[in-house]
Amino acid sequence: MENDSFVLLFFIDGLGMGTRGPHNPLDGLPNAEPLAIFQNEEPHLPFGGVLATTDARLAVEGRPQSASGQTTILTGINAAAAIGYHKQGFPNAPLLDIIREHSIFVQLKRAGVEPIIFANTYTNRFFETRPRWISATTAAVEAAGLRFNTVDDLKAGRAVYFDFTNALLIERGEQVDLRTPEEAGDVLARIVAGNRFTLYEYFITDKLGHAQEMNAARIVLQNLARMIRRALERIDLKCTTVILTSDHGNIEDLSTRSHTLNPVPTIVWGHDCREIAARIHSLTDITPAIVDVLTKGAVDGQSGQADSARATF
């Protein structure tokens, strides 16, 4: 069976579905589609996106945190339940074990789905003085034996920095050009077109949520929305599924420096978006949905034609 589908997983750290009010930088923010999503409101989603309100609390007491939430997104395993609590920051040994065995990269490799890529860029500093603590994504890339993108890849238009404008990269002394959000969206769309599965990670949202910086948050969210809209414009949504999701709320409520208990928005665009959105209820549902799209795919190769006849997942 021919499968010619593609998937982009666009992961945003710390973006929940909040309420409207002065605490929420998305309230009243112009040109913030598709990120301006509020509880109990029908969202305006460009490019036919479908919202799946997604539980990030994972039936475990306390505020959702990054290490356990990201491990859950990247594996489909409820990592918070597995270790009994929400783990902050970087994954510990038990979470790293889960990532090594079950990450989406490993699952896709085992299924023969290739090429697959983490679109983010790593600077030389990462390779020279390897940090003691690494993110869930870095651990997943490493454990699956994927190549890390370097600044040279970025210069050649094959990678995107976590700050996709490159401003922070230039601040760190790298000789690279600034990118507009649209230019970054173009680069990401090209990466997506060349890989069966692409992961991109953005986490400045979480940092600004902790810092409670309203003005910076509004600027960053607007730029991020521009980058996403351009990528969606350039990606072939007939054969590609784009899934945007987050590990927990944070930036949508700047009245607190903590993560929130809000659900997170998962937004699905493109190929089979309605069916995929319908099966996503919690962070555990992301990876299984992606693996199914990339390993099962269109029934007869006529993408879209078989959708309504297809059994639910």
Q: Which residues bind Zn ion (CB under 5 A)?
A: 206
Report, in Å, the least distance between residue 226 CB and Zn ion.
24
- Choice between 172 and 210, CB closer to Zn ion: 210
Cα distances (Å, whole numbers) of residue 193 to 118, 186, 222: 13, 11, 25
Q: CA nearest 72: which of 281, 312, 236, 301?
A: 281
The stretches of 13-78 forming alpha helices (DSSP H) are 66-75
- Choice between 66 and 241, CB closer to Zn ion: 66
Q: CA nearest 19: which of 283, 255, 300?
A: 255
- Choice between 22 and 89, CB closer to Zn ion: 89
- Choice between 139 and 268, CB closer to Zn ion: 139
Residue nearest Zn ion, Cβ-based? 206
User: CA-to-CA distance for 250 and 227, rounded, in angstroms?
Assistant: 20
- Residues near 180 by beta carbon (within 8 Å), at least 6 away in sequence: 165, 226
Report, in Å, the least distance between residue 206 CB and Zn ion.
4
- Choice between 201 and 206, CB closer to Zn ion: 206
Report, in Å, the least distance between residue 210 CB and Zn ion.
6
Q: In what order do the strands lie in the sheet with 116-118?
A: 50-54, 264-270, 240-246, 6-12, 197-202, 116-118
Report, in Å, the least distance between residue 28 CB and Zn ion.
24
Report, in Å, the least distance between residue 264 CB and Zn ion.
13
Cα distances (Å, whole numbers) of residue 178 to 126, 170, 191, 198: 21, 8, 18, 23
